[in-house]
C-alpha cells in the first residue's frame, strides 16, 4: 500500500523552506531536523519506515536543498534557525510531536528546547548530536590520535601551513571520515539528485572540516541546559561515531529521563549504515513513550 506523501513550501524568517510529510498515521508526528549546518533532509528517507505508525516530517533548512537560497549571510544564526523550527511547527499545526535532531540538527533541537521552551514536545531524540562544540573538538582530537602516524602527520602539517585545500589533506581527512562519519563504501548510497547542501553555511557557522571549528558555533554549548529537558530523551549514535557514545553517556546521565543506544559497527551515519538496528531502536523508544499514561 502506498504511504501518502505531501510536499510544499513553508514561509519562515528569511524565505521559504521545503517540507515533506510521509504518512498520516494516528501516532504522534515525528519532526526531524537535519545536520550540517548547510546539509539537507534527503538522507532522512530512511525514516519513512516509521510512517506506518505516524506522520514523519522533515524539511530542508533555509539555504539548503529545495528550500530558498537567500544570499544574506546574516541569516545563518542559531536563533534564526530556532525561529525556523517554530514557524514549520506552527504552519503544520504540530501541537504535539516527537523531535529528532541529527548532528547539527541535534544542536538545533537542544537550542530549541532551551531557548523557545516549547510545549507539546513528547520526546527528544538526539541522533549523533552536537551538544557542546569544545567537547566535540576534544573528541575529534582524541579520535585523530588513533589514526595512522602518516595520516596524522599530513593533517598536522597542512593545518600548520594553512593548506587545507591540498589533495593530500583531503585524502587524510577522508580517512577520518571513513572511520567516524560514514563507514560505507564510496558510491554505495543513492545520490540525492538535484538536492545540494550549502558549504557557505557550513563554513560560516562551523568551519572547514568536521574536526576544525572556527565559525560562529566554535564556542557553542547547551550541555548545561540538558537537565532542564524533562521530556523522555533518546541518545542514539554509532559505535565509531565522531559524536562519541562515551561523551553522550555523560550528557545522558545529566538528564532526568534519558537513555543511550549505541549501534554496533556504525559511525555518524548510523541511520544509513545500520538502518534496521537504528529504526528498531527508534520504534521501541517511541512506542514506550506513547505507552505511558
Pairwise CA distance, residues 94 & 91, whole Å:
8
Residues 131-167 have pLDDT tens digits of 999 999 999 999 999 999 999 999 999 999 999 999 9
Report pLDDT for 185: 75
103 has catalytic annotation: yes
Tell me how far CA of residue 262 lies from CA of 10, 187, 205, 289, in angstroms: 35, 25, 28, 19
Give residue 189's pLDDT. Answer: 66
The per-residue pLDDT for range 243-263, each reduced to its tens digit, is: 999 999 999 999 999 999 999
Blockwise average pLDDT, block size 10, the chain, 293 residues: 83 98 93 97 91 96 96 97 98 98 99 98 99 98 97 97 96 96 75 79 96 96 98 99 98 98 97 96 97 83
Residue 293 has a pLDDT of 66
Cα–Cα distance list, 118 to 47, 74, 83, 229, 262 (Å): 24, 25, 12, 11, 28
Catalytic residue (choose from 41, 139, 241, 262) = 241
User: Pairing relation of β-strands 30-33 and 121-127?
Assistant: unpaired
Catalytic annotation, pick one of 64, 67, 103, 262: 103
Rounded to two decimals, the pTM is: 0.96
CA contacts within 13 A on the Cβ side of 180: 24
User: Would you state the pLDDT for residue 24?
Assistant: 86
Q: What share of the chain is helix, strand, coil (3-state, %, to 5)?
A: 40, 20, 40
Task: Please name the residue that has the C-alpha cell 519513512.
Answer: 48
Q: Is 128 in the active site?
A: no
Cβ partners under 8 Å of residue 23, min gap 6: 3, 4, 5, 48, 50, 51, 52, 53, 54, 55, 56
The CATH architecture to which 5-132+190-291 belongs is 3-Layer(aba) Sandwich (3.40)
Amino acid at each position: 500500500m502506498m504511504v501518502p506523501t505531501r510536499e510544499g513550501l513553508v514561509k519562515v524568517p528569511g524565505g521559504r523552506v521545503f517540507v515533506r510529510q510521509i504518512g498520516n498515521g494516528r501516532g504522534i508526528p515525528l519532526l526531524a531536523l537535519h545536520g550540517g549546518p548547510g546539509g539537507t533532509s534527503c538522507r532522512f528517507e530512511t525514516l519513512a519506515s516509521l510512517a506506518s505508525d505516524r506522520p514523519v516530517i522533515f524539511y530542508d533548512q533555509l539555504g539548503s536543498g529545495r528550500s530558498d537560497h537567500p544570499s544574506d549571510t546574516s541569516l545563518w544564526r542559531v536563533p534564526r534557525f530556532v525561529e525556523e523550527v517554530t514557524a514549520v511547527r506552527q504552519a503544520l499545526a504540530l501541537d504535539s510531536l516527537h523531535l529528532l535532531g541529527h548532528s547539527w540538527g541535534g544542536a538545533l533541537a537542544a537550542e530549541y528546547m532551551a531557548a523557545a521552551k516549547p510545549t507539546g514536545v513528547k520526546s527528544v531524540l538526539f541522533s549523533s548530536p552536537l551538544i557542546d562544540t569544545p567537547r566535540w573538538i576534544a573528541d575529534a582530537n582524541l579520535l585523530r590520535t588513533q589514526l595512522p602516524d602518516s595520516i596524522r602527520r599530513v593533517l598536522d602539517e597542512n593545518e600548520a601551513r594553512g593548506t587545507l585545500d591540498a589533495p593530500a589533506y583531503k585524502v587524510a581527512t577522508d580517512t577520518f571520515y571513513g572511520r567516524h562519519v560514514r563507514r560505507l563504501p564510496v558510491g554505495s548510497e543513492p545520490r540525492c539528485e538535484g538536492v545540494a547542501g550549502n558549504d557557505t553555511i557550513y563554513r560560516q557557522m562551523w568551519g572547514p572540516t568536521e574536526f576544525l571549528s572556527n565559525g560562529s558555533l566554535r564556542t557553542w554549548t547547551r550541555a548545561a541546559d540538558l537537565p532542564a529537558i524533562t521530556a523522555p530523551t533518546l541518545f542514539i549514535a554509532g559505535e565509531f561515531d565522531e559524536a562519541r557514545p562515551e561523551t553522550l553517556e555523560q550528557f545522558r546521565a545529566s538528564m532526568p529521563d534519558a537513555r543511550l543506544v549505541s549501534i554496533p559497527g556504525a559511525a555518524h551515519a548510523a541511520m544509513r549504515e545500520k538502518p534496521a538496528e537504528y529504526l528498531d531502536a527508534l520504534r521501541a523508544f517511541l512506542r514506550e513513550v506513547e505507552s505511558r499514561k
